[in-house]
A and B are shown apart, each in its own frame.
Chain A
Amino acid sequence: KNQVEQSPQSLIILEGKNCTLQCNYTVSPFSNLRWYKQDTGRGPVSLTIMTFSENTKSNGRYTATLDADTKQSSLHITASQLSDSASYICVVSDRGSTLGRLYFGRGTQLTVWP
């Protein structure tokens, strides 16, 4: 069964600190992996997208890594800000159809305290 598991479920850090969120998946065949940021009451916004040939991609203070062999990805946030408080969702796409079916994790709820 294709699944996407994220950890931790929730995380509290102090402003200015770094953190790393984890994503493990069993989706096969693999097409790409995306990280989304979802603010409370809003729709998800794409942060990064990586194909199987990419093992790291950055977007400002966000750096995503991908290990397609172990089927693991991480999202590292550097020098956290209060505005980083949100749910971070890992999404994996397969190549099973032209739709590129998406499998969503439940997200990691990050809270940044001042």
Chain B
Amino acid sequence: EADIYQTPRYLVIGTGKKITLECSQTMGHDKMYWYQQDPGMELHLIHYSYGVNSTEKGDLSSESTVSRIRTEHFPLTLESARPSHTSQYLCASGGIAGREYQETQYFGPGTRLLVL
């Protein structure tokens, strides 16, 4: 079982609210990722980080922001939630610098977000 945690697991919130989805890993991985997944659809990368103070946008345009102040922590923030943000958000970590061929991403359990 991977040591990567996400909170909350489920969140129902009203439109316009600010929310932060938490993600922590205790494996010392440099690389961390946020994915968005709708039911029956593929995962889409929305943000990633190579290490502390490194953040990049992924393939899918997202109105969320991330920060990486500590290696183990990679929170995702929505400043103003909208119904279109309703989805499952998966955090992952993995990667050893210089050994990308062997990289395995470990996923957290996900946060299911419903914006009313």
Contact = CB atoms under 8 A, between A and B. Distances in A.
A106 B100 contact: no
Tell me which of A45, A46, A49, A99 has the highest count of chain B C-beta atoms within 10 A of its own C-beta.
Answer: A99
A87 B43 CA distance: 12
A31 B107 contact: no
Contacts of B41: 106
Given A32-B101, A41-B112, A44-B107, 10 more contacts: A31-B101, A41-B110, A42-B110, A46-B104, A49-B104, A102-B45, A102-B105, A104-B42, A106-B40, A107-B42
Interface of A: 4, 31-32, 34, 41-46, 49, 51, 89, 93, 98-102, 104-107, 109
Contacts of A42: 109-110
Interface in B7-24: none
Task: Tell me whether chain A's interface is mostly helix, strand or loop, or mixed.
Answer: strand
A44 B102 CA distance: 17
A36 to B, nearest CB: 8
